[in-house]
Amino acid sequence: MLSRLLGFISLLVALPVIAATPRPVVVELFTSEGCSSCPPADAYLSELSQQRSDILPLAFHVTYWNGLGWKDPFSLDIATQRQAEYARRFGDGSYTPEMVVDGTIGFVGSDRSTGEAAIQKAKDAHATATPVSALRKGNVITVSVGAGSGSARVILVGYDLQHVTSVGRGENGGRTLKESNIVRSFQPIGQWTGKPVMFAPQIPAGEKTAILLEAPDGRIVGAARVTDEP
């Protein structure tokens, strides 16, 4: 009897510890410093990052504006590729500014009324979200994903909280842009198949880090900000 009890305790210790905090709605903005229509959408994303802890805003700076007068210093090929994947799913092509909520709907990023409605709809659907948590200790992050149904790609995202850029040329030439939650790295770290699992990736590029769970159809089914060990 004692051996069975000790075995049960060992099993509990070995299981990942999942935080009980509600998971944030993931709001992705595809933007560029070379796009004159983007600053209002950038401002909206900045407001979300400063005022809404229930939202994880991420600004993906695309590359296809770089040959039109100003090379965006934060542009990434992966941002362009990720938006192209959404374009294939939504059938609306790639454009800036585009906002995507939880991988389910895309719309003009400066359209606040559509954004608020999409965010609320996503929050209402979070009762079935897959539990995920992540803790940073030194140069290693411990990612824990709990039990659930389905499967998902586990993605590590590094981002900078804010940058201020004086744009020298292009459509925004002469303007000073303040932008928030700029994605600096984006890398899959493994696969989740419904059972509890843990990962231990290295710290990516970026001041802050988040974890996304992306289902095969592109929907975000789990997300968490990485917290620092107390």
Q: What is the pLDDT of residues 78-135, one digit of tens each?
A: 999 999 999 999 999 999 999 999 999 999 999 999 999 999 999 998 867 789 999 9
Q: What percent of the chain has pLDDT over 90?
A: 86
Query: What is the pLDDT of the chain when averaged over all its residues?
Result: 91
pLDDT in tens, 153-164: 999 999 999 999
Question: Which pLDDT belongs to residue 169?
Answer: 96
pLDDT in tens, 154-193: 999 999 999 999 999 999 999 999 999 999 999 999 999 9
Question: Which pLDDT belongs to residue 4?
Answer: 40
Question: Which pLDDT belongs to residue 18?
Answer: 47
Q: Which of 3-17, 53-67, 198-212 has the lowest mean pLDDT?
A: 3-17
Contact status, residue 73 vs residue 183, Cβ threshold 8 Å? no
Phi and psi of 77, rounded to 5°?
-60, -35
Contact status, residue 213 vs residue 145, Cβ threshold 8 Å? yes
Phi and psi of 67, rounded to 5°?
-95, 15
pTM for the model stands at 0.90
pLDDT band at 21; cut points 50, 70, 90: low
- Which CATH class for the 19-228 domain? alpha beta
The 8-class DSSP code of residue 105 comes to E
Question: Which pLDDT belongs to residue 22?
Answer: 83
| E strands, 52-137, in order | 55-61, 98-101, 105-108, 132-137
Contact status, residue 151 vs residue 193, Cβ threshold 8 Å? yes
**What residue ranges do the domains of the chain occupy?**
19-228
Phi and psi of 48, rounded to 5°?
-60, -40
